[in-house]
Amino acid sequence: MKKRFLKVKILAAALGITLAVQAVPIHADSVHVAKEGDTFYTLSKEYGVDMNKLMNANPNIPATNIYAGLKLNIPGETMKAFADPAPQLITASLNVDSGQKIVEAWGKSFTYNKTLKVKATAYSSAANENGRWGAVDYFGNPLELGTIAVDPSIIPLGTRVLVTGHSFPGLPKKAFVATARDTGSAIKGNRIDIFVPGSPQEVSNFGFQDVELYFIN
């Protein structure tokens, strides 16, 4: 079990600066911007890279949370040259049928039971943001993309939500699925803290954002 220490978030002084959320490790030869339907298996075939090496090059991206717009490191020799050396994130559609309680994003449909507007911040795996327990969630599992810290009295641990309304380079635009797996002494009430792979300096540029959560089934 773990509770993270109070973290102070610093909003970037200069607006408009674009920073990559995922730092490309030294062994990565290329960066792939995921499209809908991509998996580690299909990418290993597309680039001729061993799937285990591909997964090891992206340790913070779980196989079940690859979304269009995410940047993945492609290690070693590849069989395909990039047509665009600096691809941009594409924009997702976000359609909501409040009558049927269905929300659609990235071509996937989710049923939801309620929505909640919250203030969001972001945190990294840095030691000073996670206390003596290190870069693990409340349950002791390694932090990964899709982990959010919550106030359990508002959002029970284990709850799956669709996060919408955020704006940050490297996160899927419009929406992404997250699970409440962490807590924090500063996360009280209608607040969430989103784990984002990257350096503390990069992640701090997330600042404070108003987002809306869809509690998906």
- pLDDT tens, residue by residue, 72-113: 888 864 433 333 443 333 445 689 999 999 999 888 899 999
Contact between 73 and 58 (Cβ < 8 Å): yes
Q: Quote the pLDDT of residue 93.
A: 67
151: which 2 tokens? 């106030």
Strand pairing category for 160-164 and 175-182 = antiparallel
Q: Quote the pLDDT of residue 92.
A: 54
For the chain, residues with pLDDT lower than 70 are: 1-29, 76-93, 170
